[in-house]
Amino acid sequence: MALNAESVPMRWPAGPLDIACGEKAKGFTAQTAEVLRNWQDPASLAIVQGTPVNCLVVSWAAGLPADAAQPEALKPLIEKGRQAGLDFVGLIEGKADRVAAVAAAKAAGLAAVAMDGDAPAGASLPVIPWNKGSQVRSASSPVLGISDGIWPGLPQAASQAGGPTNLPWVDSNGAPVLIARALAPDKTVWVGFDPPPPQPPPQPPQQQPPRPQQQAGNSAEAYVLAVADPASYGAKWVISLDDQLRADLTAKKQPAADVWKKLVETLAFFGLHNQARTYQPDGPLAVLSNFAGPDYDSGEEAINLFPRIRQPFRVIARSRAAAASFAGLQAVYYVDQEAPDAALRQKLIAFAQGGGTVFVPSKWPNPEGAPLTAEPYLVFNLRKLGNGRLAVCKDAQPDPSDLVDDIQNIVSHRNDILRLYNAPSMNFLYETSAQGRQGVIHLLNFSRRPGSDGPLFYVKEPHKSARLVSPEIASPTDLAFTPQEAGGAELFLPKLSVYGAIELEK
């Protein structure tokens, strides 16, 4: 079986190479080594039997002496797995002999290998580019990897000092995934990240009855979010379990089985609700960049921040901008320090002259249009351009938060198509079908626990129906539109712990 969009990958640490790598890490224990040996045993594959997981990512070569023993050690596992319909991908890292590792992978029957940098010339297997988000690149493989994903949630060090009025920062994989999708729309994106080391569960104060048995590692909700965050943005998490969960699953402990069951159910849910593969992010604003080199950070930060200020947006790769439609857009944020080529510049200027707003960096040469009076605090100088505006950044490195706030302010809430209330720890992503008749709003709760009130959406345009789907509810629920006096309608949602999606039909 070849890798494709249906592949559901899972990191499968096992064998001498993982033990050798583990021994170099802090906190590596004899128990962890034992689990790695156990997971080398073909019997351990029972864990994924009957689940959506159909592709195991194994350590293959890392430039260590243990590289040599790894293929032989994993041979029974790979053979048994392949018989059961599983694909195997070999992860090649560090200073490994890449040519030899690819050849060994081919011989062992792996479906592909994954490695950073460039694939060896004439590789006899598909090579999944396995790079940091900032260096993501397309290749012949149907899969594109992002190796430096982030465990999603609220950062541990998040300050509570803001009281009831602060929107907290969230850790999400949304931005690198959307960028990868824009750069390589025909590829399936995989994101790799590991769970944080498990924290011991808080002990109940004395005199209180003991709590029911809990999983000692990361919670089920944390794993649900780890699946849902990349999935809602259109990517797949290369599932990675913490040491404790792997040990407890091996030991068949019930709390671990419950966590695994919930993770598997979430995978199944996203297997059924997979619109993100064909829908595209939508909104009145487009972020346009080459997302490379020094421009990557600016583009990624904007795409990180727009969801926090509830601004729906599209992402356009500069290499594809000439063919991209600007229909329905109110504004384009051109991120790159390098000026666009003449054709793209003309397209942007024509868009502004037609009534849009184009936001450009301070290096934009010879800005078109006549200066407009604007509030002095704005990070942009505004210029009138036909029926629209050109907004030229005043500084080479503006504060990213001020920048996105000002873009939203200048575009105006008059053009809001969606608004989210009562969900400070949530982000949403709005996507629509090619014809725009169907839409989906993915809603992620990074606190992993329900808020005091259910989320509430304002939807500007009339729709025929709205339906809530979520792994947290037994069956899809129709949502009623509550019309608003000033236009639009509101949708009231039940409380959500981690993920829900509103499927909209015009």
Partner 1 sequence: MKQHLTRRELLAGAGIGAGALLVGPAKSLATVAKPGRVAVARCKTYGPELVPAMEKMFDQIGGLSGLVKGKTVAVKINLIGVRWQRLGNAPMEETFWTHPRAIGAAVHLMGKAGAKRIRVVEGPWSTPETLEEVMLSMNWKPRDILTAADNVEFENTNYLGRGKKYSRFMVPAGAMIYPGYDLNHSYEDCDVFVSFAKLKEHAATGITLSMKNVYGTTPITIYGEGAGKDEPSIRPHGGRGGTFHFARRLPSKSAPQQIDMSLPKDAGYRLPRIIAELNSARPVHLAIIDGVMSATGAETNYGSRPQAAVKPGVLIAGTNAVATDAVAMAVMGFNPMNDRGQAPFAASDNMLHLGENLGVGLRDLKQNDIAGVPISEVVFDYTAVRDKILAERKKA
Burial class (CB in 10 A: 0-12, 13-18, 19+), 142: middle
The stretch near partner 1 (CB under 8 A) out of 218-226, 298-306, 418-426, 431-439 is 418-426
Out of 422, 433, 438, 477, name the contact with partner 1 by CB under 8 A.
422
- For partner 1, give the closer residue by CB, 276 or 459: 459
Cβ neighbours of residue 122 closer than 8 Å, sequence gap 6 or more:
none
Provide the minimum distance between the beta carbon of 407 and partner 1 in the complex, in angstroms, as a whole number: 12
Size of the site for partner 1 (CB under 8 A): 35
Cα distance between residue 4 and residue 138, in whole Å: 15
Other C-beta atoms closer than 10 Å to the C-beta of 419 total: 17
DSSP state of 199: P
Provide the minimum distance between the beta carbon of 163 and partner 1 in the complex, in angstroms, as a whole number: 7
Cα distance between residue 71 and residue 16, in whole Å: 10
Other C-beta atoms closer than 10 Å to the C-beta of 50 total: 8
Provide the minimum distance between the beta carbon of 429 and partner 1 in the complex, in angstroms, as a whole number: 17
Q: Which two tokens stand for residue 235?
A: 């990517």
By rule CB under 8 A, what string of x and - marks binding of each residue 378-407 to partner 1?
------------------------x--x--
Provide the minimum distance between the beta carbon of 448 and partner 1 in the complex, in angstroms, as a whole number: 16
- For partner 1, give the closer residue by CB, 203 or 452: 452
Chain positions 467 to 486 lying near partner 1, rule: CB under 8 A, are 484, 486
Quick check: 162 binds partner 1 (CB under 8 A)?
yes
Q: H or E stretch including 506? A: none
Q: Which residue has tokens 């402990």?
A: 253
C-alpha separations of 493 from 230, 339, 443, 457 in Å: 22, 44, 11, 8
Out of 458, 471, 501, 503, name the contact with partner 1 by CB under 8 A.
458
The 3-state DSSP class for residue 437 equals coil
Quick check: 449 binds partner 1 (CB under 8 A)?
no
Residues in the chain: 506
Provide the minimum distance between the beta carbon of 330 and partner 1 in the complex, in angstroms, as a whole number: 14
List the Cα angle 323/325/326 in 5-degree steps.
130
- For partner 1, give the closer residue by CB, 290 or 409: 409
Out of 122, 163, 209, 210, name the contact with partner 1 by CB under 8 A.
163
Other C-beta atoms closer than 10 Å to the C-beta of 422 total: 15
- For partner 1, give the closer residue by CB, 31 or 484: 484
Provide the minimum distance between the beta carbon of 457 and partner 1 in the complex, in angstroms, as a whole number: 11
Quick check: 294 binds partner 1 (CB under 8 A)?
no
Quick check: 462 binds partner 1 (CB under 8 A)?
no
Out of 452, 474, 475, 478, name the contact with partner 1 by CB under 8 A.
452
Helical segments of 283-340, H only: 294-308
Provide the minimum distance between the beta carbon of 199 and partner 1 in the complex, in angstroms, as a whole number: 24
Say if residues 135 and 117 touch (Cβ distance below 8 Å): no
Provide the minimum distance between the beta carbon of 492 and partner 1 in the complex, in angstroms, as a whole number: 5
Quick check: 487 binds partner 1 (CB under 8 A)?
yes
Quick check: 164 binds partner 1 (CB under 8 A)?
yes
Out of 140, 159, 160, 165, name the contact with partner 1 by CB under 8 A.
165
Quick check: 211 binds partner 1 (CB under 8 A)?
no
Quick check: 424 binds partner 1 (CB under 8 A)?
yes
Q: Which two tokens stand for residue 413?
A: 């809430």
Quick check: 158 binds partner 1 (CB under 8 A)?
no
Say if residues 288 and 250 touch (Cβ distance below 8 Å): no
Cα distance between residue 76 and residue 205, in whole Å: 48
Starting at the edge strand found earlier in the chain, the sheet holding 388-393 runs: 313-317, 285-289, 331-334, 357-360, 388-393, 380-385, 370-371
Q: Which residue has tokens 């583009």?
A: 299
Say if residues 226 and 186 touch (Cβ distance below 8 Å): no
- For partner 1, give the closer residue by CB, 107 or 167: 167
Cα distance between residue 314 and residue 288, in whole Å: 9
Out of 219, 456, 477, 506, name the contact with partner 1 by CB under 8 A.
456
Chain positions 296 to 335 lying near partner 1, rule: CB under 8 A, are 310
What is the binding site for partner 1 (CB under 8 A)?
162-167, 310, 375-377, 402, 405, 409, 412-414, 416, 419-424, 451-454, 456, 458, 484, 486-488, 490, 492
